Amino acid sequence: MPAGKDPTVTAPGRTPPPTLEQVAALAGVSRATVSRVVNGSTSVSPPIAEAVRRAVQELGYVPNRAARSLVSQQSQAIALVAPEDVNRFFGDLFFAEIVKGIDARLEDSDYVLNLMIANHDPSGKTMRYLGGGAVDGAIVVSHHTSDRFLRRITESLPVVYGGRSAVAGADTYVVDVDNVAGGAIATQRLIDRGCTRIATIAGPLNMQGSIDRLTGWRQALDAAGVAAGPVVDGDFTMLGGAAAMREILDWREPVDGVFVASDLMASGAVPVLLDRGYRIPEDIAVVGFDDSAAAIATSVPLTTVRQPSRTMGWHMADVLIDVLHGNTSRERELILPLELVVRDSA
């Protein structure tokens, strides 16, 4: 700010914001009583607390977050940390649903959300920010085995992981689905349709969810005695799914079923099949994973495994808020149910 400018002076033409003292005067109580009510104390009698709330509403008083943070030594903020490429984070509808769920839970709290696209944090910037008191806790999504900086986060902050941690030994809270079961459910759908050689387009194999879905695919094939087609990494992107599908079609033996470990990759794979003249599902059946908007945006609506992404986001925020409020008795792992959604592709 310019030298000598008083930050408490209101700009010309603007009405100064109401103060704590004005609320106290209107409610007929002390400044300290207003402060206790605003900060959620239960030590104030209900009639007086109601009078304060009416005064706050009438005046349009907004508590000063910075001042409250100094008193409580809490920032009233949490971080959503995504060690991902920016394009991938904003291009994947799965993350949009997670954020919607987190936002829905935070709406009923005093916490605000800080988004951090960490991209593996090669410079340590994320750690400096998280360790500097700017947030009270963190939610981490889309983590990889190479994200070693995540272990340091858990040493300084309460952390909830969206998905089982890819970092061995991280002692923290997890909200997830059973990805092994999900991979098996998807593959079993293809087996039940009579597919005899089933390939898979996997996510990056430095992510635990990808590894687990691949494990479920293998388990279902082994249990049914069905031949495995190729495993190709589609990088959880549409372009990656398209490239992986082309590689599968060029494989030495034909396949008649493909489990694609995300709907976004499947939305890239389906056009490749159609462009090459394959009928879906008559020639090659396809099952995706997520039940995101991408599942119904393809020219052949996807049969897919629905994971409750928005609900997952809600629970991630709920667990973290609970821990921040001192409830450490929460279960360390919350596993949400999956569901097969049958459409036209399989």
Instruction: Give the bridge partners for 96, in sequence order.
Output: none
- Name residues whose C-beta falls within 8 Å of residue 106's C-beta, 6 or more positions apart in sequence: 78, 112, 113, 317, 321
Mean pLDDT of the chain: 84
- What span, in angstroms and rounded, lies between the C-alpha atoms of 193 and 191? 5
- C-beta of residue 254 within 8 angstroms of C-beta of residue 312: no
Structure tokens at 37: 């009510």
User: Cα 160 to chain center, whole Å?
Assistant: 10
DSSP letter for 158, please: -
E strand intervals along 73-192: 77-82, 112-117, 137-141, 159-162, 173-177
Q: What is the band of 318 on the pLDDT scale with cuts at 50, 70, 90?
A: very high
Q: How far apart are CA 160 and CA 105, in angstroms?
A: 14
How confident is the model at residue 5, as a pLDDT? 41
How many beta carbons lie within 10 A of that of residue 16, not counting itself?
A: 10
Cβ–Cβ contacts within 10 Å for residue 175, how many? Answer: 27
Q: Note the pLDDT of residue 90.
A: 79
Contact 175, 318 (CB under 8 A): no
Q: What percent of the chain has pLDDT over 90?
A: 47
Give the pLDDT band of residue 181 (cuts 50, 70, 90).
Answer: very high
Structural domains of the chain ordered from first start: 20-63 (1.10.260.40), 77-177+310-337 (3.40.50.2300), 179-307 (3.40.50.2300)
Q: What are phi and psi of 103, to 5 degrees?
A: -60, -40
Among the residue ranges 7-21, 245-259, 272-286, the one predicted with the least confidence is 7-21
CA distances 199 to 10, 191, 268, 284, Å, are 66, 12, 16, 10
All residues at 6 or more sequence positions from 89 whose CB lies less than 8 Å from its CB, including other chains: 82, 95, 117, 142
Per mean pLDDT, which range of 111-120, 186-195, 293-302, 314-323 is the poorest?
Answer: 111-120
Tell whether the model's pLDDT for residue 76 goes beyond 90: no
Q: Is the pLDDT of residue 52 over 60?
A: yes
In the Cβ-directed half-sphere of 204, how many Cα atoms lie within 13 Å?
Answer: 13
**Paired tokens of 44:** 């104030």
More confident residue, 63 or 189: 189
Give the pairing type, strands 339-341 and 303-306: antiparallel
Q: What is the mean pLDDT of residues 294-304?
A: 93
- d(C-alpha 167, C-alpha 149), whole Å: 9
Cis peptide before 281 (omega within 30 of 0): yes
pLDDT over 70 at 121, yes or no: no
